[in-house]
Amino acid sequence: MADEILLQRVRNRAEKWLSEDYDDETRSRVQTLLDSEDLAEELADAFYRNLDFGTGGLRGVMGVGSNRMNRYTVGIATQGLVNYLLKEFSSLSEISVVVGYDCRNNSVMFAEAVADIFSANGIKTFLFSDLRPTPEVSYAVRCLGCQAGVMITASHNPKEYNGYKVYWNDGAQVVAPHDRNIFAEMNNISSIGDVNFCGKPELIYFLDEEMDDRYIGDLLALSLSPDAIERRRDIKIVYTPIHGTGVTLIPRALSALGFTNVIHVPEQDVVSGDFPTVALPNPEEAAAFEMAIKRAVETDADIVLASDPDADRVGLAVKDDDGRFVLLNGNQTLLIYLYYLIVRRKELGLLKGGEYVVKTIVSTELVKAIADRHKVKLYNCYTGFKWIAAIIREKEDKETYIGGGEESYGFLVEDFVRDKDAVSGCMLLSEIAAWAADGGRTLYRLLQDIYVEYGFSKEWGVSVIKEGRSGAEEIESMMKNYRLNGISELAGSKVVLVYDFKKLTAFDLIENETFTLDMPTTSNVLQYFSEDGTKVSVRPSGTEPKIKFYVEVRGRVDSREGLAAAELAAEKKFEAVKKSLGI
């Protein structure tokens, strides 16, 4: 009976898309879905709900339907944003926004529709004239004093996806209450006829290389080791944009920083939303690095850098002691990144007190050991760079931000951008490589030395994918089960501390005490800490159909030579942890 009610609701939703307000191609596809029993599941997935705001705004598979990315769902989101901006900034004589887009299929069309809707409603719109990295949109919002921004991107998702990220006037992704209020305005739109698609060209202004120059110029001022770069300017850096927007700025930025030997992967410099050389355009995936590493071997390069399609995430491969390239995970890159920012500032006498770094709750706890040693404050926040940006906003003019990041390959050194940034990330990682080389070390050796000095840590991410409506229900059921039944041990080590961020409650199982977690809002995340330092975090993804497990195991090593044994012990413990979790 419940399925019949849902099916009828789906059909009612779909039939509304047969009106004259929708284009012929859309109406034809919807009619096909309605007429074919074989497409019933596709029909249900396309219309069973409205595309929702997640960690990064709207994101979904492209196609017809209220639960798909298309001109109409993008239009409703934009009109909802417009309606909220007109209320929130009613005292301003002029409201302005920035619109950018990446390399994905339909990104240009979506961006132009967004610009048309903004301008149709009397809002001054700065539209990038070509694809640009996501962080440059954040930068432009702040640089131009705009009230909001929109970036059309699905980041590192498969090619079938696209997305819609909303930025507020501080250049950060929207957080409460703005995200909820925008979504409420979207829900108040009763029909697609309420969306004004008739743009006013006189209100649309194009952004081009002048904005690029300002952005790169500000990034160059962040360098802490210009002398090392000058001495090591010829280190060989292989860089791939994986068919994405990074090709527009990152090679240029590395050259401006002083590096003279940036090696391209020509096949992957080709901008394409089909991502023809990779299955997934994600620097977290080893397969995405294959062509770049092959190029690095051919050219005897020193490091390999890869950015995702919208150039906000960066992955890193380094040479081990045998000259073989190994991929670093996001936590390892974060360690190198924050270690350098802290230690190098100390070397230069720039740690005056009041400095801080930020990481997400699922990122490695080893960052705390580094920060504590050098009396730098560490703040933890939820997954998603909007939460790192929120801390930067809160601490502005009170404390000094020197860097932050997350395990999912997102890093930010500058505070004049409020989202993760692969442009500055590639620049900084190349600078660290030059600084390390100046001291006779590779980045691989640098990471080893961090482990020896501050403690060994190894992390894994496990994603269990659950597609479609039934998958979402199964993920919800898994989270309920963990809360009801709990986890008592991790690989034989007793769980001593549990954090439930949905309830903002922590349970100390040693002292049998409960205390409140100091976080800005709730989040559907569970964390377990065991006696031996193992940490497990569990959360549903806000942007993808999966439930994510983050596992970190800890250890001690006295020398580089002890790292191999520590690695083997950690891997063995990880397999045991997975059994404890039932995954």
What is the CB neighbour count within 10 angstroms for residue 224?
Answer: 19
Query: Taking the alpha carbons of 303, 287, 363, 428 in that order, is the dihedral positive or negative?
Result: positive
Cite the DSSP H helix spans in 22-66: 24-35, 40-47
Count, residues in the chain? 583
Helix (H) or strand (E) holding 195: none
What is the enclosing helix (H) or strand (E) of 8?
A: helix 2-16
Closest Cα to residue 262, out of 426, 463, 49?
Answer: 426
* Pair 207, 140: CB distance under 8 Å: yes
Q: How far apart are CA 27 and CA 583, in angstroms?
A: 43
Sheet holding 410-412, edge to edge: 377-381, 355-360, 400-406, 410-412
**Pair of tokens at residue 410:** 């997102």
Q: Is 398 exposed, middle or buried (0-12, 13-18, 19+ CB in 10 A)?
A: exposed
* Contact indicator for 331, 124 with CB cutoff of 8 Å: no
* DSSP letter assigned to residue 51: P
Look up residue 30 and give its two tokens: 């919807």
Closest CA to 358 of 342, 378, 335: 378
DSSP string, 370-410: HHHHTT-EEEEE-SSHHHHHHHHHHHTTTSEEEEEEETTTE
Sequence letter at residue 143: C
Please list, in sequence order, all residues whose beta carbon lies within 8 angstroms of the beta carbon of residue 58, skipping any fewer than 6 positions away. Answer: 51, 52, 69, 73, 74, 77, 163, 164
Q: 50 with 187: CB under 8 angstroms?
A: yes
Judge whether 310 and 189 are in contact, CB under 8 Å. no
Query: Catalytic residue among 66, 119, 138, 155, which?
Result: 155
155 is catalytic: yes
Q: Is the peptide bond before 201 cis (omega within 30 degrees of 0)?
A: no
The DSSP line for 207-231 is E-HHHHHHHHHHHHTT-S-HHHHHH
DSSP string, 511-550: TTEEEE---SS--S-EEEEETTS-EEEEEE-SSSSEEEEE
φ, ψ of residue 330 to 5 degrees: the values are -65, -35
Q: Which SS3 state, helix, strand or coil, does residue 504 take?
A: coil
Widest Cα–Cα separation across the chain: 73
Catalytic residues: 155
